[in-house]
Every structure is written in C-alpha cells, then in structure tokens.
C-alpha cells in the first residue's frame, strides 16, 4: 500500500512522521474518512468543508487548497488501484519541542493520506444489520470538531466489541442520546416519528447525515431534528446508524434486546435506498 506523507508517496511501511509531531504527543490534529464508490468520492464537498471548519476551530492552517487535496486523494487512490474503498486523511499540528500551547510561529502541518479497499454496500440490507450497546458519553465539549483525539471513542468501541456489538450509542448526563462512538444515530419512535439529534457542540455534524437530510427534504419525507432521550432510544421501533464507513446500518439489538421485530425496519430500508441512490 502507498501512503501520502508531506509531499511524498511512500510504501506504507516506510511512511512515517516525526516522534515530536504534536499529533502524536497531544492528539493535536484533525481527520476525515471518506468513502470512494466506483472512483467517486462520496459527499466530497461536505467532507472537505468539514475538514476546513475543524482546522479553523483549532487554528490549524490548511496544508493545501481543497483543489490540491482532491488531486492528492485521487493520486493515492490511483497508486493503490482503489476504485471502491476508504480514504483516511489527517492533518496534525506538525513538529515542535513538547510544550502545550500552540507553537508560534506555527510549524508546518503534517498531512497524511492513506486508502484501503472496502466492499460496496450489500444488495440486501438484511445483510447489513448490527448490534449496539449504550454507554455514557465521556468525551469533551467540542465533539463538533473531528479531532484525532479519540481515546473515549476507542474505549467505547472496545466495550461494544467485547459485548459482541458493533457500536456504542452514547448518552449525556441529562439522559439524552448524543451519537454513536463513530456514527450518527437516527431512531423511529414508538409513535413512528423519524428523529435525529439536533446539531450542536456535542456531536459531529455527519456528512452522511447531511446528505440524508437533504434527500429526505427533497423527497418530502418528514423527520425531526431534536434531542432524543435514552428512554425513546430503548423504546424505538427502529434505530439506524449512519457514517462514511457504515453507510446506513440498522441496529437490530440494543443492549442484548431486540429492536422492532429484530430485523431491518421499513424506515431503515427507505434510508438505505436513499443512500444507494445518491451513490449512483
Ligand atoms: N466517523 N459521529 C462520530 C463521532 C464519527 O466519528 C463519525 C464518523 C460520524 C459520522 O460522520 P460521517 O457521516 O461524516 O462519516 C458521526 C468516521 C467514519 C471514523 O471515525 O472512522
């Protein structure tokens, strides 16, 4: 595999950054994950906008223009001969003697881009279901920034994996659902309302979420953006996760108990179809 590192394309085993890079010492960096489907970057503009926003929020200069970034991503995919897969890119603060405040003058940011193959979404959503567990959200107050500081997410997903589940759905101290450790959460309430949490500093503004919101509005399908309580989650008819890596994924068991009839529901299926339609 070939990785892009600060201007060079290198075999992955030779690709490295300095041990004094602040991304390594402080988690002082921003990342994005994009799905590439048959050579096309899915929701490319949304991801590049979110990257620019995250960088701005932590005062990290852009390593290059969006247009240049697109060219480099394309080159990483070409060199790895990937048509369908995932692109990972991260921008970190760069190399400086270890000291907490942002260095001044600013070091040159480090940019790393890697890619790997990922299968196309399955033809049948029944082959794409998952289990989830619920856990307290122990992350910081700026989860709208896609930071490389992922320790709470790592621990939450480890706990999920040990419970035989795919995702940990997080809830705040008010008993409201925030999001998955690496995905956006949607539910269909007992009353049949499609809901996803409103955007604020406590969740990442998902690109898949934004794309689906647009598609739902376009189709005239009703949904609400508001706080979702843990009780509503547990009593939901359907639970759906969305992200660049999970596409649209129905949760069929929560904390070991079946959701709905234990299979993908009608709304999950409709969202999955909206997602697939956007791909092609
Ligand atoms: N995660 N919320 C969190 C905390 C996430 O980490 C992600 C994505 C999402 C969904 O965002 P999007 O639809 O833009 O992928 C929501 C990526 C895939 C990851 O960390 O691997």
pLDDT in tens, 94-138: 999 999 999 999 999 999 999 999 999 999 999 999 999 999 999
Confidence (pLDDT) at 54:
98
CA–centroid distance, 22 to ligand 1, in Å, is 22
For the 125-279 domain, the top CATH level (class) is alpha beta
Q: Is the CB of 179 inside a 6 Å radius of any atom of ligand 1?
A: yes
pLDDT at 221: 97
60-72: per-residue pLDDT in tens? 999 999 999 999 9
**Mean local confidence (pLDDT), 2-12:** 98
Q: What is the DSSP code string of 78-132? A: HHTT-SSEEEEEEEE--B--S-SSPPSSPPPPEEEEEEEE-PPPPSSGGGG-EEE
Q: Please tell us whether the domain made up of 2-117 is placed in CATH 3.40.50.300.
A: no
146 belongs to the catalytic site = yes
The token duo for 36 is 């590439």
- 40 pLDDT tier (thresholds 50, 70, 90): very high
Q: Encoding tokens for residue 52?
A: 């620019």
Alpha helices in the chain (DSSP H): 22-26, 44-57, 66-79, 151-162, 207-219, 230-234, 266-279
- What local confidence, expressed as pLDDT, does residue 202 receive? 98
How does pLDDT run across 236-275, given as a tens digit for each residue? 999 999 999 999 999 999 999 999 999 999 999 999 999 9
Tell me the average pLDDT across 3-32. 97
Q: Which two tokens stand for residue 278?
A: 């956007």
Task: Sketch the domain layout of the chain as residue ranges.
Answer: 2-117, 125-279
* Beta bridge partner(s), residue 110: 92
As a whole number, the mean pLDDT across the chain is 97
Q: What is the ipTM of this complex?
A: 0.99
Does the beta carbon of 213 lie inside 6 Å of ligand 1?
no
Cβ–ligand 1 distance for 150 under 6 Å, the answer no
């Amino acid at each position: 595999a070939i990785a892009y590192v600060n201007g060079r394309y290198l075999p992955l085993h030779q690709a490295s950054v300095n041990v004094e890079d602040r991304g390594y010492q402080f988690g002082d960096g921003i990342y994005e994950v994009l799905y590439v489907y048959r050579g096309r970057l899915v929701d490319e503009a949304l991801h590049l906008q979110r990257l620019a926003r995250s960088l701005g929020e932590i005062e990290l200069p852009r390593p290059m223009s969006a247009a240049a970034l697109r060219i480099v991503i394309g080159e990483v995919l070409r060199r790895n001969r990937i048509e369908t897969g995932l692109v990972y890119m991260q921008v970190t603060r760069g190399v400086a003697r270890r000291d907490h405040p942002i260095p001044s003058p600013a070091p040159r940011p480090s940019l790393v881009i890697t890619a790997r193959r990922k299968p196309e979404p399955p033809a049948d959503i029944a082959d794409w279901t998952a289990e989830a567990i619920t856990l307290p959200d122990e992350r910081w107050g700026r989860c709208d920034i896609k930071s490389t500081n992922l320790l709470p997410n790592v621990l939450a997903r480890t706990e999920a994996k040990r419970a035989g589940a795919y995702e940990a759905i997080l809830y705040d101290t008010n008993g409201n659902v925030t999001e998955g450790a690496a995905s956006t959460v949607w539910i269909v309430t007992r009353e049949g309302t499609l809901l996803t949490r409103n955007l604020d500093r406590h969740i990442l503004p998902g690109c898949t979420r934004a794309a689906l919101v647009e598609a739902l509005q376009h189709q005239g399908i009703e949904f609400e953006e508001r706080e979702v309580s843990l009780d509503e989650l547990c009593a939901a008819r359907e639970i759906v996760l969305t992200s660049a890596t999970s596409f649209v994924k129905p949760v069929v068991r929560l904390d070991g108990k079946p959701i709905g009839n234990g299979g993908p529901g009608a709304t999950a299926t409709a969202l999955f179809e909206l997602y697939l339609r956007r791909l092609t």
